[in-house]
């Protein structure tokens, strides 16, 4: 299935199965990187208020960062600053739909961790849940690699990151 087909399938009928198919398609895209941080990419242009450049820089990360809720939130902010309501609403909707997809992959427990495509996504999820990570630890558990975040409210939130580590090693 092509990335476009997988995206259409997920956007038109968001569910865990469609999200996981889209996730695989995004990971197979030429510019996917588990270490990319939309925040870092657009930081300088944001600080200057150069929103057209912010949009250009963030859009250059697609399709590899298509499932980054942070990327879509940043795009929504930039479009809003330019007074573009249609694109603001579209990107806000994408951010919410991507976050919903990540949350459908598990419940954040060790047994059912969330599946993300980057470490930045972990922090986006934590922020969405109203949590602040105090410590992050990589845990190797049989055939899985899990990122554990111990939060300031003493809760533990787990993320499945095996595919990220495999990709980083290549």
pLDDT at position 170 is 46
Q: What is the pLDDT of residues 63-72, one digit of tens each?
A: 999 999 999 9
Residue in this structure with the two tokens 């057209």, named with its chain if needed: 52
The percentage of the chain sitting over the pLDDT mark of 70, rounded to a whole number, equals 97
Q: Considering the domain 3-169 in this protein, what is its CATH number?
A: 1.25.40
Question: Cβ(117)–Cβ(26) under 8 Å?
Answer: yes
Name the more confident of 88 and 144. Answer: 88
Residue of 97, 128, 91, 95 lying closest to 16 (CA atoms): 97
Is residue 165 very low, low, confident or very high in pLDDT (cuts 50, 70, 90)?
confident
């Amino acid at each position: 299935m092509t990335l476009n087909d997988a995206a259409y399938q997920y956007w038109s009928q968001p569910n865990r199965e469609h999200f996981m198919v889209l996730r695989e398609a995004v990971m197979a895209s030429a510019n996917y990187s588990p270490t990319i941080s939309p925040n870092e990419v657009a930081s300088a242009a944001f600080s200057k208020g150069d929103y057209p450049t912010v949009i250009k820089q963030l859009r250059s990360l697609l399709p590899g960062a298509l499932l980054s809720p942070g990327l879509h939130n940043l795009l929504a902010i930039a479009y809003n600053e330019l007074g573009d309501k249609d694109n603001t609403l579209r990107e806000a909707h994408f951010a919410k739909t991507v976050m919903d997809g990540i949350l459908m992959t598990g419940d954040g427990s060790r047994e059912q961790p969330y599946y993300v495509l980057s470490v930045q996504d972990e922090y986006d999820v934590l922020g969405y849940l109203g949590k602040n990570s105090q410590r992050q630890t990589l845990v190797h558990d049989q055939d899985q690699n899990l990122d554990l975040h111990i939060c300031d409210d003493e809760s533990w939130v787990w993320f499945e990151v095996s595919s990220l580590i495999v990709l980083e090693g290549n």
